[in-house]
Amino acid sequence: MFFVRTASERDLPKVSALLAETWHATYDALYGPDKVSEITAKWHSVPALTEKLKRKHAEFVVADDGRVLAGMGYAALSKADPKVAVLHQLYVLPQYQRQGVGRDLFAELETCFPDARVMRLEVEPKNTAAIAFYEAHGFARAGETADCGDGRSGIPALILEKPLG
């Protein structure tokens, strides 16, 4: 059984490895292993994760059974609009998917921003499994972007939103 808890600095190497594994499993066929490794090195390094862990008005959680971290989630209030919580990351190791880990991580994150009215996320348009997961949890399509993540990635994404509260 996995428990959702707040991440700590000691978790970050395992979270980085989890992100590398899930990204390769999900995106190698779309972007190629080299591009996935490049993105992972930039977005999922321990220093990048440390910055997220330290960010104010953010929540960084992991699913932990005492032996393994099966998943992670990270959300933060939008810097442009404090009524919008942005779900930046929700990843579960492939062998633990479809067992409720993602649901439990998401359930925790959506309660962390009591003043937010909307939760927003970006998702790869070809990641049909993720889109189905988010739609099953109340998200609807709200737009798209040509630059997922950092605004300079060149990676297209759908923008999904869910009303909160």
- Integer-rounded Cα Rg, in Å, for the chain is 15
In DSSP terms, 85 is beta-bridged to: 77, 119
Average pLDDT, the chain: 94
pLDDT over 80 at 151, yes or no: no
Give the other-Cβ count within 10 Å of 16's Cβ.
20
Token representation of residue 69: 């971290």
Assess whether pLDDT exceeds 80 at residue 152.
no
Q: Could you say which DSSP state residue 33 is in?
A: H
Q: What is the CATH number of domain 3-163?
A: 3.40.630.30
Residue-wise DSSP of 106-151: HHHHTTS-TT-SEEEEEE-TT-HHHHHHHHHTT-EEEEEESSTTTS
Q: Is residue 147 pLDDT above 80, yes or no?
A: no
* Domain residue ranges in the chain: 3-163
pLDDT in tens, 86-144: 999 999 999 999 999 999 999 999 999 999 999 999 999 999 999 999 999 999 999 99
